[in-house]
Chains A and B, each alone.
Chain A
Amino acid sequence: MDSKILEFATLLRKAGVNISHTEVADCLQALALVGVDKENFYNTLACTLVKDQSHFRVFDKLFYYYFDPEFTGHRSEALKRWPDLIWPETTAGSCSGTDQIPGTEQGRSTGFGQGQGLATAAVDNFVQVIKTGNPEEIAQMVKKGVESLGRIREDDLKDMKEAVRQVKVFLEWNMGVYQLEKDACNVDEVVWLTWQERLEQMEELLYRELEKAVIKELGQEALETILVRENLNELDFYRLSASQVKEIKKKIGKFAHKLATRLSFRQKRSKHGTIDLPKTIRKSMATGGVPIKPAFRDRYPTRPEIVVLCDISGSVKVFSEFMLQLVYSIQNRFINVQSFVFVDTPDQVTDYFKNREIEDGIKNIYNKAKFSKTAFSDYGQMFIDFCDQYFDVLNKKTTLLIIGDARNNYHKEHYDYFQKMCREVKKVIWLNPEPVQNWDQEDSIMSGYGLFCDQVFECRNLEQLEKVVKKII
């Protein structure tokens, strides 16, 4: 048992859950007290090993995989169990109905459009399952979907999102959701909310089933890879699943709060220098006129002005949203935040965030802002337009923060305009969400623009983001 727990802890560490030796020791001690019947076992492990709410997801997942008897044997056994599932890989066929018996000879669907519109049976089935919400039916449907992939390949592990997409195509997921949304107008809010909840559960289950299948097929290493992917701090932003985005947003909120209070605390404590005489005398009254503690004058921190320029073309969209969220959560740290979004032309979006939830603001941007003429990133054109329309927001006090991958689609660079902007401000910082080794590859011209910046950072996961922001502020 001891060694099992140790191994379990090691695996959790791989997923970014910090577990110290004392915690493992505590856990063992607790188990000795509580005993190892099923319910208590889970509870004990949960409350001694996991100390952060955001880690529960991965803990649950691992617990489910690791202590499930199905998984104790790995690849060799899996192969024994699955021998009849090794077929030649045929080309993609159509994949439209649910009448297909899972596991029969069949290729994988690759496109979005496959089966769409024709497969009313599948859609109806999907909609029906969500509407009735029988957990067994949901599980069965998900299982069928995962089995539709046929034999699990290495690629599925590499690109889980793609595999999930394929299963969804098979299940006519998007059509089903569309259908549900249509039906939602005619039913009570409660029902609609329940459907949404079921959809979420189903998606979660889908990931689980798929991962289960992958682990069965590929063994221990696959389990580790999956766990590493759960490590939010080191996960690349473009890899996040929807629930992870939610989790990260929460984390950013907390991080913003930390930044805000950390500074204020330091300034409160480090009141030194000018003594506030009236206050000191007033205070000394309590101690019979003896000034035991001198009172110091408050110091007011200088607050920088900041201009944020966010690329929201597909490649860096997620990251830009995080950055906007962060900047607006710590807004009171700055005198003035002005934000612009662009794809090939900038548009000011500052007002979208006024007195509003950040989420709503971001939604509004996509609905209203005019940031794109051609739908392809063009930094050069953007800099020209910026100089044209908004040049006066820049001054010697502003810090210019640019978020983008500097992929210019081989358009003209217009370094001169960028240089003009950089000369006008106090500081220019560029955050690039791509890994450094991809800079200057293909159409990226990071070092070209980087020349004019004071600092350029690679910023592709939460950990790096935290580091960078601490440096900036």
Chain B
Amino acid sequence: MFSSIQEVKEKLTKQQYLINDRLATAVFLAAKLHKPLLIEGPAGVGKTELAKAVAKAVDTELIRLQCYEGLDESKALFEWNYQKQLLRIQANHLTEKTWEETKANIFSEEFYLARPIMKALQAEKPVVLLVDELDKSDEEFESFLLEALSDYQVSIPELGTVKAKSIPLVVLTSNNYRDFSDALKRRCIHLYIDYPSFERELAIVRLKVPNINEALAEKIVKFVQSVRKMVLKKSPSISETLDWARTLVLLGVDTLDEELVMNTLNILLKYQQDIKKVEERIGGLLPE
């Protein structure tokens, strides 16, 4: 996929994803060593975006598996299509076919529904498999993933072991909602994305909101950076900064003042307590 760290950087920048050395190294190693890339960090710093950008950069399909509590193999890997099988059996009753024939028939490829992991393993050319918010899934699902992630194969009782046709680049993301088992972490390349520095955030805002005026962008980022220093329930992340910047551009303003910030603060902060906290000190937080 990539031949050097420099190439990772260039290709991703082309996809409008600003990447630093650390991220680039991790992506490069994951692709080269055929290891899953585990990305952790607060919500909204661009974990999922990274996976999307990588898929675009190497021009391949992105297969996404959104995790949630209660997700199991049948949703992630594959499932027999019960209804169709049943219809088949009933239809076969009316013909001369024996039970043996029917049995052989209903466990064929026609009757199964491939889910994201299976799809990724069966793809002809390497794809990017994004397992999003893995921390929301149950621990049992995590251990099930181990086989798929370390050997790129899965065992299905009726079909035997299915090996990957091509090795996908697996990206796991997590909001650190819970810890993963050592077994899973051991198999991954780990990457922690934190809130960006002032310069990086400014560059991101400029890149993603191209029609923003220079001075406003700087003020926005300065303000967000100081809000982040406060103790809040949920600090604003890049995606919120971008939303806010876009809103302000839509509103056609070119400088920040107290009233404007108060009115649009709910885009930046998602908890009432946080909004209140910031409102109280708004005067002191605004950049000159």
* Interface positions of A (Cβ within 8 A of B): 18, 20, 22-23, 26, 29-30, 33-34, 39-40, 43-44, 46-48, 50-53, 56, 187-194, 196-197, 254, 257-258, 261-262, 265, 268, 286-288, 290, 292, 357
Residue on B nearest A47 in the bound complex, by CB: B26
Q: How far is the CB of A233 from chain B (nearest CB, A)?
A: 12
When A34-B25, A39-B21, A48-B29 are in contact, do A53 and B192 touch as well, CB less than 8 Å?
yes
- Complex Cα distance A39/B9, Å? 15
Q: Which residue of B lies closest to A49 (CB)?
A: B190
How distant is A186 from chain B, measured CB to nearest CB, in Å? 11
From known contacts A48-B29, A193-B226, A196-B229, infer whether A261 and B283 are also in contact, taking CB-CB under 8 Å. no
The 8 closest A-B pairs by CB, nearest first: A189-B284, A51-B185, A188-B284, A43-B25, A193-B229, A189-B281, A51-B190, A47-B26
Is the Cβ of B38 less than 8 Å from the Cβ of A189? no
Q: When the two chains form their complex, are residues B226 and A189 in contact, meaning their CB atoms are under 8 A apart?
A: yes
- CA gap between A48 and B36 in the complex, in Å: 11
Could you tell me if A288 and B226 are in contact, using CB atoms closer than 8 angstroms? Answer: no
* A370 CB, min distance to chain B CBs, angstroms: 28
Contacts of B190 in A (CB 8 A): 46-48, 50-52
Distance, CA A33 to CA B189, complexed state (A): 14
Bound together, the chains give a CA A337 to CA B69 distance in angstroms of: 27
**Whose C-beta in chain A lies nearest to the C-beta of B37?**
A47
Do residues A286 and B83 form an inter-chain contact, with CB atoms below 8 A?
yes
Evaluate contact between B22 and A43: CB separation under 8 angstroms.
yes
B86 located at the interface, meaning its Cβ lies under 8 Å from any Cβ of chain A in the complex = yes
> Does B156 belong to the interface (CB within 8 Å)?
no
Can you name 16 A-B residue pairings with CB atoms under 8 Å? A26-B33, A34-B5, A34-B29, A43-B21, A43-B25, A44-B29, A46-B190, A48-B29, A187-B284, A189-B283, A190-B287, A194-B226, A197-B229, A287-B83, A292-B82, A357-B233
Kindly specify which of B59-67, B171-179, B208-216 makes contact with the partner chain. B171-179
Question: Do A40 and B188 touch across chains, with their CB atoms under 8 A apart?
Answer: no
Which A residues are CB-close (under 8 A) to B284? 187-192
Q: How far is the CA of A254 from the CA of B283 in the complex (A)?
A: 36
Chain A positions within 8 Å of B138 at CB level: 261, 265
Q: Mark B166-204, 1 if CB is under 8 A from A, else 0.
A: 000000000011110010011111111000000000000
In the bound complex, residues from chain B placing their C-beta under 8 Å from that of A287 are 82-83, 86
The reply to whether the CB of B244 lies closer than 8 angstroms to some CB of chain A is no
Q: How far apart are A293's CB and chain B's nearest CB, in angstroms?
A: 9
Q: Is the interface of B mostly helix, strand, loop or mixed?
A: helix
From A29, A46, A193, residue with most partner B Cβ within 10 Å: A193
State whether A188 and B283 are in contact (beta carbons under 8 Å apart), knowing that A286-B83, A287-B83, A287-B86 are contacts in the complex. yes
B112-156 interface (Cβ within 8 A of A): 138-140
Known: A53-B40, A287-B86. A257 touches B21 (CB 8 A): no
A290 lies within 8 A of B86 (CB): yes
Contacts of A22 in B (CB 8 A): 186-187
Is there an interface contact between B179 and A193, defined as CB atoms closer than 8 Å?
no
B230-270 contact mask (Cβ, 8 Å, vs A): 1 or 0: 10010000000000000000000000000000000000000
Q: Does B90 contact A (CB under 8 A)?
A: yes
**What residues of A have a CB within 8 angstroms of the CB of B47 in the complex?**
none
A51 & B186 in contact (Cβ 8 Å cutoff): yes
**Known A26-B35, A357-B233; further 8 A-B contacts with Cβ < 8 A:** A30-B29, A33-B32, A39-B21, A47-B191, A53-B192, A189-B281, A189-B285, A261-B138
* Residues of A close to B25: CB separation below 8 A: 34, 40, 43-44, 47
Total B residues in contact with A, Cβ cutoff 8 Å: 44
User: B17: CB under 8 A from chain A?
Assistant: no
Taking CB atoms and an 8 Å cut-off, the chain B residues in 62-97 that contact chain A are 69-70, 82-83, 86, 90
Rounded to whole angstroms, the CA-CA distance of A205 and B22 in the bound complex is 23
Given contact pairs A34-B29, A40-B5, A20 touches B22 in the complex (Cβ within 8 A):
no
Pick the contact of A258 from B33, B82, B178 — CB < 8 Å? B178
Report chain B residues within 8 Å CB of A290: 86
B185 engages A52 (CB within 8 Å): yes
Min Cβ gap A466→B in Å is 12
Considering the complex, give the chain B residue whose CB is closest to the CB of A268: B70
Closest partner residue, chain A, to B187 (CB atom): A22
Chain A: minimal CB distance from B20 (Å):
9
B22 touches A194 (CB 8 A): no
Q: How far is the CA of A40 from the CA of B188 in the complex (A)?
A: 18
The interface residues of chain B lying within 8 Å CB-to-CB of A44 are 25, 29
Which residue of B has the minimal Cβ distance to A269?
A: B140
Write the nearest CB–CB distance from B88 to chain A, whole angstroms.
Answer: 12
A43-B186 contact in complex given A52-B179, A265-B138, C-beta closer than 8 Å: no
B285 lies within 8 A of A188 (CB): yes
For the complex, give the distance between the alpha carbons of A262 and B179 in Å.
Answer: 13
A235 to B139, CA, bound (A): 27
Give chain A nearest CB distance to B116 CB in angstroms.
Answer: 22
Give the residue name and chain of the B residue nearest to A39 (CB): B21
C-alpha gap A121/B22 in the complex (Å): 43
CB distance from A211 to the nearest CB of B (A): 24
Q: Is the CB of B29 within 8 A of A288?
A: no
Q: What residues on B are CB-neighbors of A26 within 8 Å?
A: 33, 35, 189
Q: Which residues of B have CB within 8 Å of A34?
A: 5, 25, 28-29
User: With A53-B40, A190-B285 in contact, is A47–B189 under 8 Å at CB?
Assistant: yes
Segment 22-64 of B: residues with Cβ below 8 Å from A: 22, 25-26, 28-29, 32-33, 35, 38, 40
Q: Across the interface, which residues of B come within 8 angstroms of A258, CB to CB?
A: 178-179
Q: Is the CB of B179 within 8 A of A29?
A: no
Task: Provide the bound-state CA to CA distance between A287 and B32, in Å.
Answer: 46
Report the bound CA distance from A47 to B22 in whole Å: 8
Chain A residue with minimal CB distance to B30?
A47
- State in angstroms the CA–CA spacing of A26 and B281 once bound together: 49
* Nearest residue, chain B, Cβ from A191: B284
Using Cβ atoms and an 8 Å threshold, which residues of chain B touch A254?
176, 178-179
In the assembled complex, which residues on chain B have CB atoms less than 8 Å from the CB atom of A50? Answer: 190
Contact B230 A193, beta carbon cutoff 8 Å: yes
Neighbouring B residues of A191 by C-beta, 8 Å: 284
Pick the contact of A194: B83, B176, B229 (CB < 8 A).
Answer: B229
Inter-chain contacts of B179 with A (CB < 8 A): 52, 254, 258
Residues of B within 8 A of A40 (CB): 5, 21, 25
Q: How far is the CA of A46 from the CA of B139 in the complex (A)?
A: 25
CB distance from B227 to the nearest CB of A (A): 9
CB of A204 to closest CB in B, whole Å:
16
User: How many Å lie between the Cα of A48 and that of B186 in the bound state?
Assistant: 9
CA distance A43 to B179 in the complex (A): 22
**Residues of chain A contacted by B176 (CB below 8 angstroms):** 53, 254
Report the Cα distance A46→B188, complex, angstroms.
Answer: 12
CB atoms of A20 and B5 under 8 A apart: no
In the bound complex, residues from chain B placing their C-beta under 8 Å from that of A357 are: 233, 273
- CB distance A257 to B191 under 8 Å? no
**How distant is B100 from chain A, measured CB to nearest CB, in Å?**
21
Residues of chain B with a CB closer than 8 A to A261's CB: 69, 138, 178
